[in-house]
């Protein structure tokens, strides 16, 4: 008999095709996954009712770093045993509820590390050298009126990395080629690296020219890059974020970019994706990309393969290839 699995949230075509080819996929209808305020002011989620009625026997769910599964959705599937997450980050899923019910979660680490680190370096160079603004300058025909304003040098800068996990380390390795001095802040000191450890994010920001955020998202890191951290980074400092929008106080960031508290930013992630604060759209010192860190054919194919491998292994022996706990 073909195994029935749940698909929570929109998914890349290639993964959907693979899932449909191998399993019987129950998909939460788009309109049912919308949340709207109920009369009593709470948020009513139609998908929960859909799951209660249709997903009673489901044991495996597939979701993404963006969609995730809420606590209510998880509780609506009494037989759920495993969640396969397309993405390294799984902060959109209610991990505490899943754990409490003995549900395992598998994510897709490692296979996307190179691409996310590559993008972080790309954003750094793009912001400091003004590549996005210079491209617009040429396209708009402004070159004939005079030269493009001078930018900031990349080689030799002092970089502070927030979160020295797999991606943070891969970024640090790449930046060595640019003769940069690397410091970091992490939940725990990392013993096998030669980089200077800063005791707090604020101290790290005060000591560097470019602050790169590569920390895991979720409640523990929410708002870690605060107004005070941005003030410590200072008017010649740049911020790069390839982690999660939630790690930065976005309101404070917009203010800091508006009033010159920091020099510029390169952002792949935002608090309320796909919505981006309007104020950022007209800033020439900001590079904005639509959460494309892992967005290459190679990484996304490997992530899809890892999701499939997690499901197959779970069906075979009840374990995951890449469990998160
Ligand atoms: C993806 C990501 O965009 O892996 C992550 O944590 O943010 C990205 O790779 C996303 O999760 C895929 O839907």
| DSSP collapsed to 3 states, the chain | CCCEEEECCCCCHHHHHHHHHHCEEEECCHHHHCEEECCCCCEEEHHHHHHHHHCCCCCEEEEECCCCCCHHHHHCCCCCCEEEEECCCCCCCCHHHHHHCCCEEECCCCCCHHHHHHHHHHHHHHHHHCHHHHHHHHHCCCHHHCCCCCCCCCCCCEEEEECCCHHHHHHHHHHHHHCCEEEEECCCCCCCCCCEECCCHHHHHHHCCEEEECCCCCHHHCCCECHHHHHHHCCCCEEEECCCHHHECHHHHHHHHHCCCCCEEEECCCCECCECCHHHHCCCCEEECCCCCCCCHHHHHHHHHHHHHHHHHHHHHCCCCCECC
**Does 291 qualify as catalytic in the annotation?**
yes
pLDDT at position 30 is: 77
pLDDT at position 270 is: 98
CA of 174 to the centre of ligand 1 (A): 21
pLDDT at position 40 is: 55
Q: Is the CB of 110 under 6 A from ligand 1?
A: no
Could you say which residues of the chain have pLDDT below 70? 31-44
pLDDT at position 91 is: 97
**For the whole model, what pTM was predicted?**
0.95
**Does 298 qualify as catalytic in the annotation?**
no
Give residue-wise pLDDT tens across range 243-276.
999 999 999 999 999 999 999 999 999 999 999 9
Q: Is the CB of 186 under 6 A from ligand 1?
A: no
pLDDT at position 35 is: 58
Q: Is the CB of 93 under 6 A from ligand 1?
A: no
From 4, 81, 196, 291, the catalytic residue: 291
Number of the ligand 1 atom closest to the C-alpha atom of 292: 3
Q: Is the CB of 22 under 6 A from ligand 1?
A: no
**Does 207 qualify as catalytic in the annotation?**
no
CA of 269 to the centre of ligand 1 (A): 10
């Amino acid at each position: 008999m073909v195994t029935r699995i749940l698909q929570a949230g929109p998914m890349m075509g290639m993964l959907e095709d693979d899932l449909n080819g191998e399993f019987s996929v129950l998909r939460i209808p788009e309109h049912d996954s919308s949340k709207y305020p109920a009369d009593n002011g709470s948020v009513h989620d139609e998908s929960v009712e859909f799951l209660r009625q249709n997903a009673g026997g489901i044991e495996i769910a597939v979701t993404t770093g963006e969609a995730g599964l809420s606590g209510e959705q998880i509780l609506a599937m009494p037989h759920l045993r495993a969640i396969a997450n397309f993405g390294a980050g799984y902060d959109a899923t209610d991990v505490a509820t899943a754990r409490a019910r003995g549900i395992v979660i598998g994510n897709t680490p490692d296979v996307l590390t190179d691409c996310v680190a590559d993008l972080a370096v790309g954003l750094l160079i793009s912001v400091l050298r003004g590549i996005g603004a210079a491209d617009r300058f040429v396209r708009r025909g402004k070159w004939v009126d005079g030269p493009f304003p001078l930018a900031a040098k990349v080689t030799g800068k002092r970089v502070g990395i927030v979160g020295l996990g797999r991606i943070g380390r891969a970024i640090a390795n790449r930046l060595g080629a640019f003769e940069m001095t690397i410091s970091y802040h992490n939940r725990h000191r990392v013993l096998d690296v030669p980089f200077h450890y800063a005791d707090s994010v604020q101290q790290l920001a005060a000591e560097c020219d470019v602050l790169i955020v590569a920390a895991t998202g979720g409640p523990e890191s929410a708002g870690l890059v605060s107004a005070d951290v941005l003030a410590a980074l200072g008017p010649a400092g740049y911020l790069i974020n390839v982690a999660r929008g939630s790690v930065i106080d976005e309101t404070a960031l917009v203010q800091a970019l508006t009033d010159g508290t920091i020099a510029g930013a390169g952002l792949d992630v935002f608090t309320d994706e796909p919505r981006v604060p309007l104020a950022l759209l007209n800033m020439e010192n900001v590079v904005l990309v639509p959460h494309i860190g892992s967005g290459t054919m190679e990484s996304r194919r490997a992530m899809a393969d890892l999701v499939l491998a997690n499901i197959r292994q779970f069906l075979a022996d009840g374990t995951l290839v890449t469990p998160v706990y």
